[in-house]
Structure 1
Amino acid sequence: MSQLADRWRDPAFLDAAHAWIHEQLDTTAPVVGIEQTHVTDWSTVLRVTTGAGQVWFKANDDTMRHEAAVTGVVAARSAGRVPAPLASDPGTGWMLLADAGPRLREVVPLERSLDRWHDVLDAYARVQLACEDEVDTLLALGLPDRRLHTLPAAYADLLAGLDGADPRLPDASLIAELCDRLAAHGIRETVQHDDLHDGQVFLGDGVHQVLDWGDACVSHPFFTLSVTLEGVIAWGVDDEAGSEDLEPHLAAYLRPYEEHYGRTDLRDAAALAMRLGWVCRAINGALPQDPGSTRTRLKMFLDARP
């Protein structure tokens, strides 16, 4: 366990978290037990067993403290596809969420199919569209600003601080050119999950829901496609590179955008965004203690996928 993660094991933190959980739940669903099930450098999750079922507590470090408030805003515009917190604290960023059922990570191996992603991607695109007018609100809550006009300078700063950066990486002028090309397609920037994989999608009561908005940012919406299509779905059911046809999944994601914008010419924008999205992910997900992940994401950009 790293020193950064030690904070979540600290008895003072756990005592305060337990007290807050009891304060929020005991009058309606008395707490039976609390177990710490997940610890990372940046967050922790506690499973709370109550007389009415399981509830989940989450705490983030300062870089993701906005997640609870952002989740509330996005949930209100999601038509039930993003669960709203049962309770949250604006000072600490702590939140409680109802149990959302099994994850796609457990469901897909049993069904031997990725077809559920069609519904997930359609619904998620509609959430993004519904949040187009909420950008100022989301930024005010602390959601990172990764809009196209911010990326060239952020990319230059990232390279300047990255030891062992691939010498083939271009300077920021190419990133600026790609951003200008993508902006010319006229798709509005909005909330973007930035880490949408099979561990973040849950199936509760037959409805796919998207959780864990801690890595979210405001950016070009299509940047989602980098992680979700290239980084996850393309690997198929058996984790083999290139084993899944991405076209049906891309079509499912783009369909709400085609309907909303009255266009059928978004494939070029999607292809460009899928490449540039790795730059956004490298910037947005950069951790000083994990430069290897940053290098991997920049390599995906260099490989010019798709």
Structure 2
Amino acid sequence: MASLRSVTTTPNADRSSQEWRDAALTWVSDALARHGHRITGPVQPRLRPWSLVWRVPTDVGDAWFKANNPGTRYEAGLLAILSRLTPDAVLRPLAVDPERGWTLLPEGGPSLRDVLAGGDDRVARWERVLPAYAELQRTVAPQAGVLLDVGVPDHRPERLPRLLDELLDDRESLRPGEPDGMSVELHERLRAYRVEFAALCRRLDEMGIPATVQHDDLHDGNVFAGTCGYRFFDWGDASVAHPFGTLLVTLRSVAHAAELVDDDPALSRLRDAYLEAWTDRYDRATLRETAHLAKRVTTVSRALSWRRALATDDPARDGYAEAVPGWLGELLAPTLV
């Protein structure tokens, strides 16, 4: 059973050291040289508990280096696979080192957030983005086993009940009774809910929609919206799961940004725009029921994603520690759309 601290941090533990920095810069420089390019200035770092990102100036514009911590290291291998299977929907990496969890990406252009800041209609934009993302998921689904082989976490419905049990036993992550942890009362309610949760997962599995890659943090900051179409990035929270679980974060983020209430018809339109990709095999009523179930159980997936992200000795992780109990507690909240 993994807890917040139980994953070692060997590849990036010394990333503030000159030795680590030199090794990473050499890797980036060599990768750029293979493409005929070179670094032209100092890198600009951004450090989070789950990754280190460098903005790297080059003679053809910026490149982006990312070093994942062990809890999200699989992102490098996942991105390499996605770029082969869906080259029009993700950036093709300039270099990937799955063993160390390192990737180097070219500049992707403006993000969807940048575009929306210019006054574009948010809901109309997402009505175009979500079908493109659904197509990526459908393309990848037959290769779900390949993703599992490279370490992408397994959050398929049949696995979630056992994963919930593990989370509820992980007192270090949940800290029941502590000020920023889960209340003892909620912890007991979730334990009592496990039988019903397992039934929800069985029902979701029985719907028969194949598991595939599920981004788990798809919002306007993780989509490029340039002239080449929509490209999806930042896959560090991803898992192999029910595809419709994506809607949990996406619809919430749209509702928050657009100041919509939870049952606003615009959110139903976005849900249906996303589900349209599956109407060749399922009727819309079934798809809507499935989406409702998937959003409900995916709160456990979000808690697991945060636990992996915070599996580090970085002191900054303490600023995010409430995310694991917070998302798990959402399991008992009502799901409207």
Do the structures match in fold with TM over 0.5?
Answer: yes
**How does the TM-score come out when normalised to structure 2?**
0.83
SS in 2 for 1:148: coil
Who is 1:175 aligned against?
197
| Match status 1:188 vs 2:188 | no
Shift in alpha-carbon separation, 1:223–1:262, aligned structure 2, 3 A: closer
Who is 2:244 aligned against?
222
Of 150, 165, 175, 1:163 maps to 175
Does the 8 Å CA contact 2:158/2:205 hold for their aligned counterparts?
A: no
Look up the equivalent residue of 1:9 and give its one-letter code: S
1:218-257 maps to which residues of 2 (within 5 A)? 218-230=240-252, 232-237=253-258, 239=259, 242=262, 245-257=266-278
Who is 1:70 aligned against?
78
Who is 1:12 aligned against?
19
Does the 8 Å CA contact 1:34/1:46 hold for their aligned counterparts?
A: no
Who is 2:127 aligned against?
118
CA–CA distance in 2 between the matches of 1:245 and 1:254?
14
| Match status 1:49 vs 2:57 | yes
Look up the equivalent residue of 1:263 and give its one-letter code: D
Runs of 5+ unmatched residues, structure 2: 1-8, 177-181, 312-317
Look up the equivalent residue of 1:281 and give its one-letter code: R
CA–CA distance in 2 between the matches of 1:271 and 1:29?
48
**How does the TM-score come out when normalised to structure 1?**
0.91
Who is 1:23 aligned against?
30
Who is 1:136 aligned against?
145
Per-residue CA deviations over 1:87-114 (Å, capped at 9, x if unaligned) read 1123312111111112122221222521
Per-residue CA deviations over 1:204-242 (Å, capped at 9, x if unaligned) read 225111001111100111111111112x012233x5654
The number of residue pairs the alignment matches comes to 300
Does the 8 Å CA contact 1:236/1:244 hold for their aligned counterparts?
A: no
Greater RCO, 1 or 2 (C-alpha within 8 Å, sep 6+): 2
SS in 2 for 1:56: strand
Alpha-carbon RMSD across the aligned residues, in angstroms, is 2.0
Look up the equivalent residue of 2:230 and give its one-letter code: H
Look up the equivalent residue of 1:302 and give its one-letter code: L
Who is 1:263 aligned against?
283
CA–CA distance in 2 between the matches of 1:190 and 1:220?
6
CA–CA distance in 2 between the matches of 1:168 and 1:188?
31
Please state how far the C-alpha of 1:125 moved relative to its aligned partner: 0.7
CA–CA distance in 1 between the matches of 2:101 and 2:328?
31
Who is 2:3 aligned against?
none
CA–CA distance in 1 between the matches of 2:292 and 2:57?
45
Does the 8 Å CA contact 1:33/1:48 hold for their aligned counterparts?
A: yes
SS in 2 for 1:58: strand
Look up the equivalent residue of 1:215 and give its one-letter code: D
SS in 1 for 2:121: coil
Per-residue CA deviations over 1:28-56 (Å, capped at 9, x if unaligned) read 01210232331111211111111111111
Look up the equivalent residue of 1:72 and give its one-letter code: A
Shift in alpha-carbon separation, 1:300–1:244, aligned structure 2, 3 A: farther
Does the 8 Å CA contact 2:80/2:96 hold for their aligned counterparts?
A: no
CA–CA distance in 2 between the matches of 1:279 and 1:7?
31
| Match status 1:281 vs 2:302 | yes
Runs of 5+ unmatched residues, structure 1: none
